[in-house]
Amino acid sequence: MTSRPRSAPRSPRASVHLRLRFGFVVICMVISLFGVRLVQLQGIDPQSYAAMAAREGMVTVELPADRGAITDRNGVELATSVDGRMIVADPTMTAPDAPEIASFLAEELDLDYFATLESLRYENTRFRYIARRVPSTIALDVLAEAQERGYRGLSTRRDPMRDYPARDVAANVVGFLGDDAIALGGLEKTFDGLLSGTDGEATYEVGGGNRIPLGDQTTVEPQDGADLELTIERDLQWFVQRVLRSTIRGAGGDSGAAVVMDSRTGELLAIADDPTFDANRPGAAPERNRVSRAASDVYEPGSVQKVLTTAALLDAGKVTPRTRIEVPGTLPRQDRVIHDHWDHGDIRLTMAGVLARSSNIGTVLAADEFSPDELHAYLRAFGLGQRTDVGIRNETAGLLPDPSLWSQINQDTIAFGQGVSVNAIQMAAAVNTIANGGERVAPSLVRGSATSDEGEQVGTATAERRQVVSPEAAAQTMQMMELVTDPEDGVAPGAAVPGYRVAGKTGTAQRVGEECGCYDGTYTVSFAGFAPADDPRFTVYVVVQNPRNGGGGGSVAGPAFSRIMSHLLRRYAVAPTGTQASTYPIEW
Amino acid sequence: MSSPLPQGSPGRVRVQRIAEAAVERARLRVVPRAPRVTRAPRVPFVTLVSLVLLAGVVGLLMFNTTMQQNAFAATSLEQRAATLTSREQTLRMDLEVLRDPQRVAERAQRLGMVPAATPAFLRIADGKVLGVPTVSTARERFDILPTAPAKPAVLRTRTRVVEVPAPSVRERRRGEGRAGDRAENRAGNRAENRAENRAGNRAGNRAGNRAGNRADSRSDG
């Protein structure tokens, strides 16, 4: 192409030019259309289109995480997750054979015949629950059998179930799951986040009902929940619960609690509550039976408190076990008169005798050496008025009044355990301080360490220790407590374990009634103690509310204590120490 | 130009020869026809390509089929694993029921066993007995059965008072004794029966039956 002809617009070259230009314009228009569409798709609302694309042939399946088990200290399961199934019926298909199917199901699954029959004939629905949380194998067996017999309209679906193999054993502590696997109480709820884990999901392409092997897929693996290991021992817990129940039944009491603690480590080996409930059927029990009374019931400890007062007095050097106290028959204080639990004239007791005989008047006279602040500081150090934070829900802190509000009579009654409120675990831990050489170990219920949903860290790994009274004061208190179970001098010979040195203290406290908010003439009886006294291994605390047989701490709770303690000593093979019992004088 | 050129007036001769060469180059000639290239036979190549293609397609097909089959196998194995897991769980549950402390204790009590009394130890080293060995008696036994549920009011028997004319002293004494005995027996029997039924009917038996049935059906199959 050398020269361009100027004229002749009709030449073929000009027409080519025109066509090129026209084509170019068309291409531009088309491309700009594409551009606009691109902006529309990618710029304005890309998500909805992506979702639309994903819906075509993509399937998302939830991969449920397994809920962790709650085990005792030996790994025996107290609560465990089981693959369950629900059996559902389509009444439009089951109605014709309803009676046969109902009797078959009632037989196989222990269902109520009439309720099942009604469900199978229900009108205007195609979905009725027949049975929920049936162990998967049983459900599938039953369904296969039903199919064999030609019953139509039954199917199963996944329905995770929680099993509590030991039913009421430790149920109040472990708690329970409600319908649809929602944690409703106890440790199940406190540590729900830890136990439940995180569900995963799998998304994959499906063609013609089958997974496409090389298709797009993403899988988020489920994070199974962690197990929670408790310090409780199941068989021991069962024994303690049964002893407690038979004690309460025998005394005609309302309720009660028993706490067993390892003296050296503060681990709670058993926390028994009665009345209790079957964790597999929580709905059958009233709500007040489903909480842990050992932690949530608040009551006045009575004479068990004298152990703390005496240890504090000894530690402060205000008294010795041989300090002589003249105890009058009655002691008028402010507008009230303090009595002892037995009638007596003027008697002469040593400090040890005051504790052994459980004299209120003697304790009050000895505690006069304390200022309110001093006594309050000691009691606070023993853990009164503060939650133990073992991990049980709705634990009460108890009530230890502020010393600035104490009048003389307040201090007097607090010294022997009235006008101050505690929970059973708190009191067991306080008495355990004496068993552990004056060092308070925070009680713990969870082995290792676990973080609750509220972010609180609990467990044996975080248990605090603090010296409350000197080892000497603790040893002296122990020897004084030993006199309580003495067959001649003590008030609770029934709490003794033959062959062993046992230190303990009874408590019989007036109880504040629920209606009037005043002492209503009912009592709380209790016994706290440890054995072997000179090398304590276990601390046991038994409380019975409102016994109607007129018994006190020594006669009601004492024998229960003895039974539990004997069992413990045998179970853990603790031989008697074989040393001489305490020889403190009682009188002078 | 391989032949030696004549000497003399070398300038001219060179020029001439250069020009000659240029002329020679400028002259158009017919390109000699290239010798005929021997063409490789076509058939083997086509065969090879088709074979490769066929192998690829078949391989891909087989690969896909294997993948599918593996997927099916994986699914069925997973299902089997799930079934076995749930069977294990069920068996474990049955086992837990069987070793439930309550059940074991009830069985033991029915056999007449009682909890041990005071613990005592025998020290092997010197043969010394530690503690106070005590014989366990029925006194150690305590009630381990749950409280019976309260009877609904409808089922509670109402006391019917029947006035009878006072009998003579001797008659009364005899009658009282008998009536008392009978009442006691009846109450005792009833309580015992109820306790036994309750203990027997509860999960223990059921688990036992279930385990037994299953074992039977398995041995049949």
**What DSSP element (H or E) covers A28?**
helix A12-38
> Average of pLDDT values for A140-146?
89
| ipTM reported for the complex, 2 dp | 0.77
Instruction: Indicate the SS3 state at residue B187.
Output: helix
Residues of A in Cβ contact (< 8 Å) with B131: 498-500, 575-576
The Cα of B46 is separated from the nearest Cα of chain A by a number of Å equal to 32
Segment B20-64, tens digit of pLDDT: 777 777 777 787 777 676 777 888 899 999 999 999 999 999 998
Q: Which residues make beta-bridge pairs with A299?
A: A422
Cα(A149)–Cα(A40) distance, rounded to whole angstroms?
59
pLDDT at A143 over 50: yes
Nearest Cβ partner for B100 among A165, A239, A246? A165
> In this structure, are residues A499 and B131 in contact, taking their beta carbons and an 8 Å threshold?
yes
Which amino acid appears at position A393 of this protein?
Answer: R
Q: Looking at residue B152, what is its pLDDT?
A: 73
Cα(A170)–Cα(A277) distance, rounded to whole angstroms?
9
Q: Where are the domains of chain A?
A: 56-83+160-230, 84-153, 234-571
Cβ neighbors of A526 (< 8 A, separation 6 or more) are: A301, A302, A304, A427, A506, A507, A508, A509, A541, A542, A543, A544, A553, A557
Residues of B in Cβ contact (< 8 Å) with A234: 101
Cβ neighbors of A245 (< 8 A, separation 6 or more) are: A274, A275, A276, B143, B146, B147
More confident residue, A108 or A516: A108
Question: Three-state SS across B141-181?
Answer: CCCCCCCCCCCCHHHCCCCCCCCCCCCCHHHHHHHHHHHHH
Segment A304-329, tens digit of pLDDT: 999 999 999 999 999 999 999 999 98
Nearest chain A alpha carbon to B131 = A499
Cα(A556)–Cα(A492) distance, rounded to whole angstroms?
10
Residue A5 CB: number of other CB atoms within 10 A?
A: 9
Q: Looking at residue A31, what is its pLDDT?
A: 96
Across the interface, whether the CB atoms of A211 and B100 are under 8 A apart is answered no
Radius of gyration of chain A (CA): 37
pLDDT at A97 over 50: yes
Catalytic site positions of A: 303
**What's the CATH fold of domain A84-153?**
Alpha-Beta Plaits (3.30.70)
Residue B15's pLDDT band (cuts 50, 70, 90) = low
pLDDT at A279 over 50: yes
**Burial grade of B68 (CB within 10 A; 0-12, 13-18, 19 or more):** middle
| % chain A with pLDDT above 70 | 96
Q: Which residues make beta-bridge pairs with A86?
A: A157
Q: Looking at residue B174, what is its pLDDT?
A: 58
Choice among A66-75, A377-386, B174-183 with the minimum mean pLDDT? B174-183
Q: State chain A's mean pLDDT as an integer.
A: 88
CA B168, B170, B176, B178 dihedral sign is negative
Pairing label, strands A228-229, A70-71: parallel
**What DSSP element (H or E) covers B69?**
helix B42-98
Preceding omega of B32 cis (within 30 degrees of 0): no
Residue A479 CB: number of other CB atoms within 10 A?
A: 20
Segment A332-372, tens digit of pLDDT: 888 888 988 888 889 999 999 999 989 999 999 999 888 88
Across the interface, whether the CB atoms of B130 and A576 are under 8 A apart is answered yes
Across the interface, whether the CB atoms of A575 and B130 are under 8 A apart is answered yes
> Average of pLDDT values for A126-131?
85
**What's the CATH fold of domain A56-83+160-230?**
Penicillin-binding protein 2a (Domain 2) (3.90.1310)
CA A285, A290, A294, A297 dihedral sign is negative
Cα(A483)–Cα(A481) distance, rounded to whole angstroms?
5
Q: Looking at residue A379, what is its pLDDT?
A: 93
Which residue carries 């004061």 as its tokens?
A473
- Terminal alpha carbon distance of chain B: 107
Residue A210's pLDDT band (cuts 50, 70, 90) = low
- How long a stretch of residues is chain A? 588
Q: Is B200 within 8 Å of chain A by CB?
A: no
Which residue carries 């009439």 as its tokens?
A114
**What DSSP element (H or E) covers A268?**
strand A268-274
Nearest chain B alpha carbon to A168 = B102
**What DSSP element (H or E) covers B110?**
helix B101-110
Q: Is A213 within 8 Å of chain B by CB?
A: yes
Segment B74-115, tens digit of pLDDT: 889 988 998 888 888 888 888 888 989 999 999 999 999 988
Nearest chain A alpha carbon to B207 = A138
Cβ neighbors of A390 (< 8 A, separation 6 or more) are: A268, A295, A425, A443, A444, A445, A446, A458
Q: Is A160 within 8 Å of chain B by CB?
A: no
Please tell me the CATH code under which domain A234-571 is placed: 3.40.710.10
**What DSSP element (H or E) covers A62?**
strand A58-63
Q: Is A281 within 8 Å of chain B by CB?
A: no
Segment B169-204, tens digit of pLDDT: 665 555 554 444 444 444 444 544 444 444 444 444
Site from A85, A239, A242, A249 to mutate, B interface, most B CB atoms within 10 angstroms:
A242
pLDDT at A200 over 90: no
Q: Looking at residue A239, what is its pLDDT?
A: 94
Residues of B in Cβ contact (< 8 Å) with A243: 142
Which amino acid appears at position A126 of this protein?
Answer: R
pLDDT at B218 over 50: no
Across the interface, whether the CB atoms of B105 and A167 are under 8 A apart is answered no
Q: Looking at residue A177, what is its pLDDT?
A: 87
Cα(A561)–Cα(A376) distance, rounded to whole angstroms?
29
pLDDT at A5 over 80: no
Residues of B in Cβ contact (< 8 Å) with A214: 64, 67
DSSP summary character for residue A160: -
Cα(A111)–Cα(A106) distance, rounded to whole angstroms?
4
Phi, psi at A313, each rounded to 5°: -60, -40
Segment A419-471, tens digit of pLDDT: 899 999 999 999 999 999 999 999 999 998 888 888 888 888 888 999 999 99
Residue B7's pLDDT band (cuts 50, 70, 90) = low
Q: Which residues make beta-bridge pairs with A260?
A: A270, A540
pLDDT at B208 over 80: no
Highest mean pLDDT range out of A15-29, A98-112, A277-291, B128-142? A15-29
Which residue carries 């009660």 as its tokens?
A256
Predicted TM-score of the model (pTM):
0.76
Q: Looking at residue A529, what is its pLDDT?
A: 94
Instruction: Indicate the SS3 state at residue A201.
Output: strand
The Cα of A108 is separated from the nearest Cα of chain B by a number of Å equal to 10
Site from B65, B96, B104 to mutate, A interface, most A CB atoms within 10 angstroms:
B96
Cβ neighbors of B153 (< 8 A, separation 6 or more) are: none
Residue B95 CB: number of other CB atoms within 10 A?
A: 13
Residues of A in Cβ contact (< 8 Å) with B75: 211
Across the interface, whether the CB atoms of B71 and A243 are under 8 A apart is answered no
Q: Which of residues 104-123 of A touch B (CB under 8 A)?
A: 110
More confident residue, A385 or B208: A385
pLDDT at B3 over 70: no
> In this structure, are residues A202 and A219 in contact, taking their beta carbons and an 8 Å threshold?
yes
Segment B148-174, tens digit of pLDDT: 777 777 777 777 788 887 766 665 555
